[in-house]
Copies of this chain bind each other. A is one copy, B any other.
């Protein structure tokens, strides 16, 4: 039978494996008998799953200590591999590479960034990422035991991903439309390159969406299941976390908050339409609206004594809040997170965003409004890439479904 990587039986299999890993994480080392009792799985099923997980380096079987052995039949203890389950995230941003890593307990063990010229080639960016990962891990990461590498990229990434036969590798699917196909093709090449360098599966998504997932995993909305995230940077983007998982939309084009019409009479946007939120709330738009500001640092530094800067932020924040309210009325997120470099303006921006958001929310929803500033900064994309691996690693799905195992 053809490998069914997303059918009910593959999901069942994945569910069984996740259960075994979760039981080992919760209970510590267990014998096969104990695992069978706790999981409710048959000996045959459990044997298959343990074999695969041991082969994948996810768990280890430890012979009993001498003292234990004397007491009766020797029984191996199964436990999570001390070096397993670690994941790396890499964010290939426009002018920098960011990397981060987590340990088995899903604690962030470090992050690093390096700026580069906007026209740096792909090979060089990957080499830069490789160097940062090496420095970061300091020899502590067993790359072969990694669940995978998560990768953030600029631009749209399709929902459906093609699985390259035999590699267990997920790459962006080439879309139906030229612009998307080009981006997706480029992303696929990048995934292949990383797969070769690191020897583990590569998962890839848009870095703004990944920042949303990061804030919902480790950041301002840690542990919250339904999060709306907007990022005010050189562009304006966003991401949705729905039921704890990244929401991609049917065609991978969700989270485009920057291209919601904010001013019907507004100017042209890079996307081709007019009056998008990005044309009034990006860093460039805010600086352009100010009579003298040259760059964001000087704009932010002058903020306390600059009524013009506060007026400009008030106008931009009002537009942002109005757009967010439309999305909140439709979606009903638990927490809304405001990120990106512009969010560093603090209350001068968050205040007007919150006022406009509240004003345009259904009154019954207003007391539930929970707007927070992002906390993860520029490394959010890399952290979100890790979260993607932890949520969706193909490690546990790249073998036949149970009905074809006999």
**Residues of A with Cβ closer than 8 Å to B?**
8, 12, 15-16, 19, 22, 36, 38, 40-45, 156, 176-177, 179-180, 224-226, 228, 238, 240, 242-243, 247-257, 259-261, 271-273, 322-323, 325-327, 329-335, 359-360, 362-365, 367-368, 402-403
B261–A367 CB distance below 8 A: no
A272–B333 CB distance below 8 A: no
Chain B positions within 8 Å of A225 at CB level: 250
A362–B273 CB distance below 8 A: yes
In Å, the complex CA distance between A10 and B41 comes to 15
B333–A156 CB distance below 8 A: no
In Å, the complex CA distance between A360 and B363 comes to 26
B329–A259 CB distance below 8 A: yes
B250–A333 CB distance below 8 A: yes
- Minimum CB distance partner of A42 in chain B: B42
Taken together, the copies of this chain in the complex come to 2
A42–B38 CB distance below 8 A: no
A8–B36 CB distance below 8 A: no
B362–A259 CB distance below 8 A: yes
In Å, the complex CA distance between A177 and B179 comes to 48
In the complex where A330-B238, A330-B257, A364-B179 touch, is A41 in contact with B41 (Cβ < 8 A)? yes
Chain B positions within 8 Å of A259 at CB level: 329, 362
A329–B256 CB distance below 8 A: yes
In Å, the complex CA distance between A253 and B276 comes to 26
Can you report 8 residue pairs joining A to B where beta carbons are below 8 Å apart?
Answer: A8-B19, A16-B40, A40-B45, A40-B402, A248-B332, A250-B333, A253-B368, A256-B330
